[in-house]
Amino acid sequence: MSRTQCFEWYSRFKTRRTSIDEDSQSGRPSTSTDDVRIDAVLHLILQNRRLTIRETAEDVGISFGSCQEILTEKLNMQRIATKFMPCVLTKDQKANRVNISQELLDRVSVDENLLKTIVTGDETWVYGYDVETKAHSSQWVGQGSPQPKKARMS
């Protein structure tokens, strides 16, 4: 304990004070973390979970610290990075793969020499995409939410 703190406590106890807790301070209550602003932050985050605290604070018109408090303490959210998966297919792509596979199985059952006529080759895919860092791919999720997934392109 510092010497200054000892002197402060001594002066408090000398005036018959029995508690070392701070006194409640009068003043204007914080309006940047009221229900209206909490709802505004939640609405923005639900529209785009990849918004940063700074962008959200600017859109709502509150300080960075107030926005951070709303997200982490009031809304119980945390920012986590997406989990990279080898390939994430849409429902239509999955259904298309099932249909094609079923069609090939049906054709093989009719013509036993079909597999001998298939020509295979090496395919090279070139993807055009913006490079995204791990921080760019992170997003806000609520407590108990599953980790978001993102397809890895190579």
Q: What is the pTM of this model?
A: 0.48
- H helix intervals, 70-123: 91-110, 114-117
Average pLDDT per 10 consecutive residues for the chain, totaling 154 residues: 83 76 63 86 91 92 91 90 66 88 86 76 53 69 74 54
Predicted confidence at residue 54, as pLDDT, reads 93
What residue segments make up the domains of the chain, in order of their start? 31-75
